[in-house]
Structure 1
Amino acid sequence: MTSGHALLGISGGVDSAVAACLLVDKGLQVTGLNIRILDNAQDNLTLEPSPIVISDDPAYSIPVYTLNLSASFRDTVIANFREEYLAGRTPNPCTLCNKEIKWKGLLLSARMLGADIVATGHYARSICTENGPELHKGIDPSKDQSYFLWMLSREELDQTLFPLGELTKPEVRELARRFSVRAAAKKESQEICFIPHNDYRAFLSSSLPGLEKQVCNGEIIDARGKVAGHHKGYPFYTIGQRRGLGISSSEPLYVNRIEPERNRIHVGGKDSLARDTLTAHSMNWSGIPAPREPFRSLARIRYRDTETPCRVIPLDRNRVEVVFDTPKQAVTAGQAVVFFRDDTVLGGGIIV
């Protein structure tokens, strides 16, 4: 796309700023949108001017607006985060935020501003094919973020540009300096935006008063079914966790099962984490029609996972069973399983 009006999500970091400058260089009219999500306020669907300046070069001076979706973020992303941990699952809030907050906010604001298309600074690609748009990996394997975008529909992909999809992170850093981007030297955050110091246990405790007292002193069950000790509360543990168990053993022990209804966690050796099947629900198929027959694919069960060959067996329109050629370690309920064919995202779902 070399003309028209693009509305680009602005985070304040280097990636979205460079994406904006690249779109300007392509000849598009570019407007920035900063979606506020952590204010103690209700949603404000009025677009307000933002003081954010992406570049000191006048050639890249673009208007930036703010849309406040803090209440929606609390009621969807944060509420889901709490509910999932209380159910003994480990959620991925970034995928839900992309779908329910970022893209909804961008597309709503694009309609208000009369923009033709939206854009973000994600390292991914949307490629038009004869069957419609497809989500593809970004070319930089160390930064590819297509895993986090599996929830997007084809309609949303059709309205989205990913200017950084063909670039590596070092190339983006270099472009930031060339474009006089103010955030050129800004460090990347690896934290979940609403979790201070990335300590989700402290967040759950502070946001759910009385939780620690309610769930403390639950039983830790070993491979023999015996009580090996007591834990601080099941929501504070995840599958595959080794540290913080507070029990001694001749071999390393890992959490391999969580029983929220009994406030129990189960532990075992590393071999106990291996699984060759899983079931997933809430399927979204952006790269292929919803399958009716089993098919072969590659799958990841977390962001930094290695893709593993598997057989995907549809159970109904909303659920699949996945059988891996080789066992996966620490399959975790609440995380996403995402299916790939080469660099194309076929779809994904939430692990049961």
Structure 2
Amino acid sequence: MKKRVILGMSGGVDSSVAALLLKEAGYEVIGLFMKNWDEKDEDGVCTATIDSEDARQVADQLEIPFYTINFEKEYWDRVFTYFLDEYKKGRTPNPDVMCNQEIKFNAFLDYALKLDADYIAMGHYAQVEKRDGKSYLIRGNDNNKDQSYFLSRIDQSALSKTLFPIGHLEKKQVRELAEKHNLTTASKKDSTGICFIGERDFDEFLDKYLLTKEGDIIDIEGNKIGKHSGLIHYTLGQRKGIGIGGVGTGEPWFVAGKDLKKNILYVAQGEKNPALYSTSLIGETPKWILGTAPSMPLKCTAKFRYRQGDIPVTVNILEDGNLYIKYDYPVKAVTPGQVAVLYQDEVCLGGCIIKSIEPLEQKYLYLNTI
């Protein structure tokens, strides 16, 4: 009897090829489109409707059943509310990580199991390996597309039921397979940005949901050098869009910190300014892929944002359960609200939410009073 797989189909080429490979491997495949957000873009077009139709066309080509499930309420309650709350705290959240934790590998999984699924599958660039009765999350083979960072808060029960059919492939191979089989999504461009914002203006979107208030921009020497449009519009290490070019030495300015109570945006000039660097962080709500923490102290590597290279670190667990992560060398623009993801070679161990950072120089502690 064939194993039943419920595949999350997004209408993109990755999940389309995942469907193809699962069918070729002999699974009973059912495509399921998740409708998580209901809003039209600036042209009055609902992109979810277009994506759903693209997914349906691929399912028809492959002759697999296809359905749509509405998770808008779950997404609003578990992901979007979290997203807004983090910005209110002055932090910079990663909703894609939370979407995987709360929707794709939680609500979606629960729904699939009610349909007697043996597995769920997604078109992510990541891999699962079974070792000694445990499921390990492994980086995708394509270093430029590896998505294990976004999957770092999935628990063992979900991962043990998950397949990543394209995780062993590179993106160009996925495109080639789609073209070879004439899938309608073969040349569809990859989606960019956060799913509920897409390619719209990010600042305009935030202004729609959160109150903003202008305030002073102050450099690390204490000089007032401009006005900001609301602290929610800025993140640590940001260079573009600050609006203070031509001041000082002529070097670029970077966001160095925020004071939420005083509504101050702190900036520092120069790529190598020590005010932009930290030496360690405190991480809250740690999640371990295997369900339990490794033995401590843990020597491993970490990524503090998706496109960052691996950084050697030492991890310890504090009395309150938070993680203390010490970097081997100072790192620029580590940002509260983002996710610190830990790796042992190719294995993703899990991750935590960055709560606070320790600056390279103690005199800059005041920069991050959020």
Q: Trace 1:126-141 onto structure 2 (pairs within 5 A).
A: 126-130=128-132, 132-141=134-143
Question: Residues 270-329 of structure 1: CA distance to partner in whole angstroms, max 9, x if unpaired?
Answer: 322111111111100114731452110000000000101111111147311111111111
Q: CA deviation at 1:243?
A: 2.3
For the residue of structure 2 that corresponds to 1:197, the secondary structure is: coil
Aligned residues: 335
AA matched with 2:314: R
Counterpart-to-counterpart distance in 2, 1:325 and 1:136: 24
CA contact (8 A) 1:192 1:198 kept: no
Q: CA deviation at 1:198?
A: 4.4
Counterpart-to-counterpart distance in 2, 1:291 and 1:101: 27
Equivalent of 1:289 in 292, 299, 302: 292
CA contact (8 A) 1:55 1:182 kept: no
CA contact (8 A) 1:277 1:324 kept: yes
- Give the aligned partner of residue 235 of structure 1: 232
Q: Trace 1:302-317 onto structure 2 (pairs within 5 A).
A: 302-316=305-319
For the residue of structure 2 that corresponds to 1:100, the secondary structure is: helix
AA matched with 1:321: Y
Q: Trace 1:6-85 onto structure 2 (pairs within 5 A).
A: 6-39=5-38, 52-54=56-58, 57=61, 60-85=62-87
Q: CA deviation at 1:131?
A: 5.0
CA contact (8 A) 1:37 1:68 kept: yes
CA contact (8 A) 1:53 1:61 kept: no
Question: Residues 44-76 of structure 1: CA distance to partner in whole angstroms, max 9, x if unpaired?
Answer: xxxxxx76121564xx21001111011221222
Q: CA deviation at 1:196?
A: 4.5
Q: Is the deviation greater in 102-111 or in 270-279?
A: 102-111
- Give the aligned partner of residue 115 of structure 1: 117
Using a 3 Å threshold, how does the CA distance of structure 1 residues 200 and 76 change in structure 2: closer, same or farther?
A: farther
CA contact (8 A) 2:31 2:59 kept: no
For the residue of structure 1 that corresponds to 2:239, the secondary structure is: coil
Counterpart-to-counterpart distance in 1, 2:224 and 2:133: 56
Question: Residues 190-246 of structure 1: CA distance to partner in whole angstroms, max 9, x if unpaired?
Answer: 2211114242211111223xx23xx11x12121112322221111111111122323
Equivalent of 2:197 in 181, 195, 198: 195
- Give the aligned partner of residue 106 of structure 1: 108
TM-score normalised by length of structure 2: 0.86
CA contact (8 A) 2:18 2:122 kept: yes
- Give the aligned partner of residue 43 of structure 1: none
For the residue of structure 2 that corresponds to 1:258, the secondary structure is: strand
Unaligned runs of 5+ in 1: 41-49
Using a 3 Å threshold, how does the CA distance of structure 1 residues 131 and 198 change in structure 2: closer, same or farther?
A: farther
Question: Residues 231-276 of structure 1: CA distance to partner in whole angstroms, max 9, x if unpaired?
Answer: 1111111111122323322132211111122211111133221111
Unaligned runs of 5+ in 2: 40-51, 356-370
For the residue of structure 2 that corresponds to 1:262, the secondary structure is: coil
Question: Residues 19-47 of structure 1: CA distance to partner in whole angstroms, max 9, x if unpaired?
Answer: 0110100111000111101137xxxxxxx
Give the alignment's Cα RMSD to 1 decimal: 1.8
- Give the aligned partner of residue 278 of structure 1: 281
Q: Trace 1:161-176 onto structure 2 (pairs within 5 A).
A: 161-176=163-178
CA contact (8 A) 2:59 2:65 kept: no
- Give the aligned partner of residue 268 of structure 2: 268
Using a 3 Å threshold, how does the CA distance of structure 1 residues 342 and 291 change in structure 2: closer, same or farther?
A: closer
**Percentage of pairs with the same residue:** 40
Counterpart-to-counterpart distance in 2, 1:31 and 1:131: 27
Counterpart-to-counterpart distance in 1, 2:60 and 2:181: 8
CA contact (8 A) 2:106 2:158 kept: no
Q: Is the deviation greater in 317-326 or in 275-284?
A: 317-326
Q: Is the deviation greater in 198-207 or in 285-294?
A: 285-294
Using a 3 Å threshold, how does the CA distance of structure 1 residues 126 and 263 change in structure 2: closer, same or farther?
A: same
TM-score normalised by length of structure 1: 0.91
